[in-house]
Structure 1
Amino acid sequence: MKFRRRELSIKQKLILFFLVFFCTPFLIISWIWYAKSTETIESNAIYYNQAYIGQLNGRFDEYFERMKVETQTLPGYPLIQEFVTIDPDNSYELFQLKERISRDLYPSIAYRNKELVGFFMYSVKGAMLGDASVGEWSQPFRDSDDHEEGFKVVGIQQVRGVPVVLLNRNIYDTVTYKFAGSIVFAFSLEHILNLNDSTAFGKPRNIAIADETFRFLYHPAAGKWGALVPEAWTSSMTGQSGYFVDRTAQGKQIVVYSESEFTRLTMISEVPLDELVGNFSQLRTATIVIGVVVLLLASLTFNKMLLEIKRLVEVIHTSRLKHKEMELRQREAMFQALQSQINPHFLYNSLEIINSYAILAKAKPISQMTVQLANMFRYSVSDPQSVVPLRDEIGHIRNYLRILEERYENLRVEIRLDEADLDQVALYRLTLQPIIENAIYHAYEKNGLHPGSLSVAGVRRESLFSLQVEDRGIGMDPQLMARYNDAFEAITEQEVPVSARPFPGIGLWNVHSRLRLAFGSPYGLHIVRSGREGTLLEIRLPYPVQSK
């Protein structure tokens, strides 16, 4: 008995055609596309996160290398050395010393480092200075005997939701060369690494930092601070940098790590695959269902996938552009770091070496000039916009004039100032030096004369203090003196008319402009007299009104 093959109906043929030639290839292609897209995104995520972690480590290293150089000579400052040797029981002298450090030293540190959050200093004798919170954070390190490294990152703490890096700089007694104390700085981690400007795949909250013992110093989850890095991670972190896939009950995630050669800290980036893939799983399921049900919905889903691909391409393109921008910024930062290596501390150290050789050679004039020059540098590199007592400015001028006296044998300088006025009168740094330089050049050298007599005197008036600089050289004609005084008067507190300057030099003009803009009229410069017998120039400064 023969069985006849049953003919399929047109409807069945259409269904079979749809299943064989559309649904099956569609499902296969969709699955392959999903797998390849996921693989590509994972590869890009690994590449860009490795580059990003490397950049964070580079930025971290550059910053702390710069801080190591900038703070290298800080423990040798006289105020610091006096702090670590003072008896803490002598409360009055300790209080005065703290006031001097807070006034003369701490502002210069904070001015150069905008990332500074806190500052704490202590001595082995028990003296303490600075933020109590920073001292509390560094207590475990101070209680330990680990003081071999002079410069070290000692930990990361969280303050009001903001992570800060604790950096320790040891202080050694310059007489006994023994450990005498430490300076602990607290810097904002977010400002150093600029985490909010992330170009990595995944969110910046997934960045963690571990120390040499594989304990989390910083983690987005505050509960993990101080906890050990999972053993499954440490067994996979075999090299200085790399990546691996971590499979947990919550899902898979890509872990990228890189260890710093300078700080020995390890940057870790955790990128859950769900963040990378996004809605791909739901899209795959919806595509399968829609493809099986109707061709129209499958077509719509296909269009949706094309739009999704376009969006991902734009995301990758944008990320690459940001990556290029990050590379340019990093190069610029490296260039600035190289420039910053030539800093005043190099000059201080060089002058100290010269002074040491001069002392050994018993060349007292060279030693004195070296010390005076170092004091001038230290005074000059401070904030030029800060107002200082007249005592500090006169101290700087004395150093400057002693050096000039070595050059000009006939130079004689007389300073006549009331001791009480030195602390009452305030002015900007480097106010007197340009005026004295101007007097030596224009009154003497320009006219072929050897610099001779100079005097600096102070006269107290009802509403101001007159600081007078007088020379015995050749002055200017009355017409030029009048033009100078008219130009000085043209400056107001709100405006500096550049066209009013009647002379090519800018030294006197800059000094007068700073005083007039800061203190207003009638303060600033005024030429009292000038002629063949010399010039008397007056610096008008504010003077506090004394009650009768």
Structure 2
Amino acid sequence: MMRTSMAVQLFLYFIIVIVISSSIVGIVLYIQSSKEVETQTEVFLTQIVDNAMQHTDMYLKRYDRATLSIMTTSNVKEFLNMDKNDFISYYKSIRPIKEKMMQPLLNGNPEISIVYLMNYSGQIITDQRADVPDMNQSLLLEKMQDLKDITNHDGKLTIMNWSFVDGMLALTRKLSDRPTSKVFKGILGIELNIDELRTLWKGIHLGESGYFFIVNDKGDIVYHPKAGMIGTHLDSQLLVKLNQHTNSIFNYKDDTERVYFNRKSDYSGWTLVASMPLDELKQPVMNIRRTTLLTCFLAVLAALFLAYRFGRSILGPIKRLESGMRRTEKGEWTHVALSGNTREMDRLTMSYNMMVTRLQELMEQVYLEELKNKEYLLKRQAAEFQALQLQINPHFLYNTLETIVCYAVIQDSQEIKDIVRSLSYMLRYSIRADLEEITVANELKHVQQFMNIMNYRIGHTFEVDVLIPPELLLNKMVRLTLQPVVENVFKHAFPNGMESHHCIRINAFIDHDDFIVTVTDNGAGITPERLEELQTKLKGGGLQASPDAAERQERRGGIGLVNVHNRIQMVFGDKYGLTIANSTSGTGAVVTLTMPGGAGKEAVEFNPARNALS
């Protein structure tokens, strides 16, 4: 299987991140905008219908109050109790009723065209405007029983579904001779010019194709913008939908799919309906969607262009450095040219070139030492020691470079500076050939630089607990022995990743004439089989570890525990070295470095509690 290049992976990561983020923003914006449009539509239609219903009810209530005053006149009371054969009293009452009741009602309300009063004895008095034909009293007598049945039995004003004159709106109410009595003896009716009422509704604007209409409880259309629809019966399926979805929005498809909102007036019994085409309501959402898609597309193009340019500026020096390292692995001592683009990458390249130069020099020294006589054996061993401690773990360096690339893409270049500076310090510290023994403080500083890099790799800050007494910080130990042990813990003790409860502790003490440094963790521990294998290698490997074994060990765990063990024995003798054991607490492991205590150092009493993790 072919592996994809770092450039392709970086570009794919950019595409994935940008597309996902743009999609999330676009989808959330579209959904939220759609909800807002739906909410605004519902609020708009509700306000339209509520305002129309309020004004309509107020308009009709005027006549409720106007007709209510008629009931209190004495002439009306006498008329209601009049015998049907008392023609003299009937004719005497016509004039005063017209003058005192009907004429003021017609004069005060120009929209009223006809007023009629009838008692249950069958006597009728009517009055109308001059431009309206006389009321047919025989038709009134024929409809008397219908009027008695339809008019509200509680004495409230009734809005009729039909009228005696075309184009009129009929209002009726039952009358009694006493205000508190529910024994009704007659009916008062008025007929309004409905054009006056329609002026309240004509001003309602619902877009290009929207409209407002009113239906009564029988399903007949009382008002419609199209005059031909007035008086017709509403579509039965739509009428059922209106009754099922009172005070709510619903969709109904006839010729086109439309949105309806209706509310029924408790006063008039009419159902007021606002309707708009669904396409017209969705138009703002469609505009938002198109704008969002276009904006996201342009943002993706711009981001990809910048990612390509930025990625090239970072990947170019890294690829050159990687190419040089691969050639060096094959035995070609290759120096990498400086890019001149970024100071951090140039410093890393300079450190690498210095490392290659020193490695080349050391390898040449080893080759020359092998040709010399046995009297130079000690010098050859020193050269071999320097070659061992200058072995750099390419796997760790590659991971560090990968970390640099990721942070170069995702974050500001400050992370690159921190990582490169820590790596440069570790490289310079690793290739120093002038010192074999170093202080504990210097080794701890080297571990600190290693942790700076590891914190970026694991994605959060992880601190190593150092319990070494201050008086032992100047003790001597072999260079590059503490950091490989800590690195080995990261690789093997926590196979499932670092958690908040994980801990690594470094302790030191004087035990008789020996200087002891321990590295303890609370990780997964070591299986008995693996522990036995490691102890066998430490006992049998010694200074005779073969190059192939060293290479395998290097691939499995940094410079390697066997390497550390060998170098301690090179400097201090076979009595000293490295040992491994499982922790006494039941989890984790303890790696112990044993070195000479040194003259003039004050002994520190061994305390097992300080060497174990709770």
TM-score, length of structure 1 as denominator length = 0.38
| Greater strand proportion | 1
TM-score, length of structure 2 as denominator length = 0.35
